[in-house]
Amino acid sequence: MKKILVTGGAGFIGSHLVRLLVKKYPDTLFVNLDKLTYAGNLANLTDIESLPNYEFVKGDIVDEDFIMATFDAYRFDGVIHLAAESHVDRSIASPKEFIMTNIVGTVNLLNAARLYWKDNYDGKRFYHVSTDEVYGSLGDEGKFLETTPYDPRSPYSASKASSDHLVRAYHHTYGLPVVISNCSNNYGPNQFPEKLIPLIINNIRHSKPLPVYGQGTNVRDWLYVEDHAKAIDLIYQKGTDGETYNIGGNNERQNIDIVKTLCRIIDLQLGRPVGESEKLITYVKDRAGHDLRYAIDATKVFETLGWQPEVQFNDGFEKTVAWYLSNEQWLDEVTSGNYLKYYEKMYHDR
């Protein structure tokens, strides 16, 4: 049986990907290796946990001996690497964790793959799931291409840029078969409510202020998470070794429009008077070094592999809001305890 290691499979994107892969490829064993940080949650995977081609292993990619022992035990044919510290604001508050997991952890996985695959790279693949934030910030015009020079500006994006470079270096130096994709902002069910969309949904639910950084005019290109998972599957199966693929939603929105859209949809879904939630919008101090605009040119992945987003923004948004409103227990569980401390630290007096 083919064995594929997925790291970070208990997180937001990872859980959607693992669910897709486990159901689509019943003859492949998928091992989900995750540290279960605040962002990892096995409740995201209850529908697949008892399937015979799925296994969960709790562990830290920074622990080199543990990674080597795991490779030794399973002899993986492939790696899809998503485990990361992923939130820009946390990286501004404490960068070190990002260096450890995103850079050192990635190198540990690369070293293990190299060691266990070195006699025969045939059929092997190391896939690094990365972000468009490595390219820096755009002005009003233009889009990121795969050839856009790297210009990361936050500790998070700098750590992801470093790991991208290391993945490419292992390809050029040792011939390791790698692919990388750089994707725009994802949204959908199971996203930890530190990120804009679930944070705003959760605050509207509790009639709490809706913190909009700066003027709310920063632009992000939003993609429904299941479309990202499908792109990763396709690139893993059909992409070319050594190549990079940009993935995006072709769906640019200013933050303030996202927040106002959420207010309207939730007022309608909760039967509140439309306009009620918008009163909660509060402009707060901007994020340090806040990138103005991200936008992806996803022509390459469309022309070479035929991928394009399937979920329209309005449908994806309605589905997303409906999921959070009908999974309030999930939201309540992840927003208790340490989340309250995090929220206080980030937003108190902002």
Which are the catalytic amino acids? Answer: 132-133, 156
Q: Is 158 in the site for ligand TYD (CB under 6 A)?
A: no
Q: Is 183 in the site for ligand NAD (CB under 6 A)?
A: yes
Partner from ligand TYD, ligand NAD, none binding residue 12, C-beta < 5-8 Å depending on class: ligand NAD
Q: Is 82 in the site for ligand TYD (CB under 6 A)?
A: no
Q: Is 185 in the site for ligand TYD (CB under 6 A)?
A: yes
Of the candidates 35, 90, 125, 195, which one interacts with ligand TYD according to CB under 6 A? 195
Report CA-CA distances (Å) from 7 to 4, 128, 194, 295. Answer: 10, 10, 21, 26
Q: Are 246 and 297 in contact (CB under 8 A)?
A: yes
- Pair of tokens at residue 72: 């030794």
Q: Is 157 in the site for ligand NAD (CB under 6 A)?
A: no
Interaction residues for ligand NAD, span 107-146 (CB under 6 A):
129-131
Measured distance CA(105)–CA(99) in Å, rounded: 9
Closest CA to 146 of 132, 156, 127: 132
CB-based burial of residue 28 (10 Å sphere; 0-12 exposed, 13-18 middle, 19+ buried)?
middle
Partner from ligand NAD, ligand TYD, none binding residue 220, C-beta < 5-8 Å depending on class: ligand TYD
Partner from ligand TYD, ligand NAD, none binding residue 8, C-beta < 5-8 Å depending on class: ligand NAD
Q: Is 220 in the site for ligand TYD (CB under 6 A)?
A: yes
Measured distance CA(317)–CA(314) in Å, rounded: 5
Measured distance CA(294)–CA(135) in Å, rounded: 9
Q: Is 71 in the site for ligand NAD (CB under 6 A)?
A: no
Q: Give whichever of 188 and 211 is closer to ligand TYD, judged by the CB atom.
A: 211
Alpha-carbon torsion, ordered 64, 40, 165, 68, to 10 deg: 20
Q: Give whichever of 121 and 213 is closer to ligand TYD, judged by the CB atom.
A: 213
Distant-in-sequence, close-in-space partners of 192: CB < 8 Å, separation ≥ 6: 11, 12, 38, 39, 41, 87, 198, 334
Minimum gap (Å) between residue 289 Cβ and ligand TYD: 11
Minimum gap (Å) between residue 211 Cβ and ligand TYD: 4
Measured distance CA(129)–CA(16) in Å, rounded: 14
What H or E segment, with its residue span, contains residue 168? Answer: helix 155-174
Q: Which residues bind ligand NAD (CB under 6 A)?
A: 7-8, 10-14, 34-37, 39-40, 60-62, 82-86, 101, 105, 129-131, 160, 183, 185-186, 192
Q: Which residues bind ligand TYD (CB under 6 A)?
A: 88, 185, 195-196, 199, 211-213, 218, 220, 255, 287
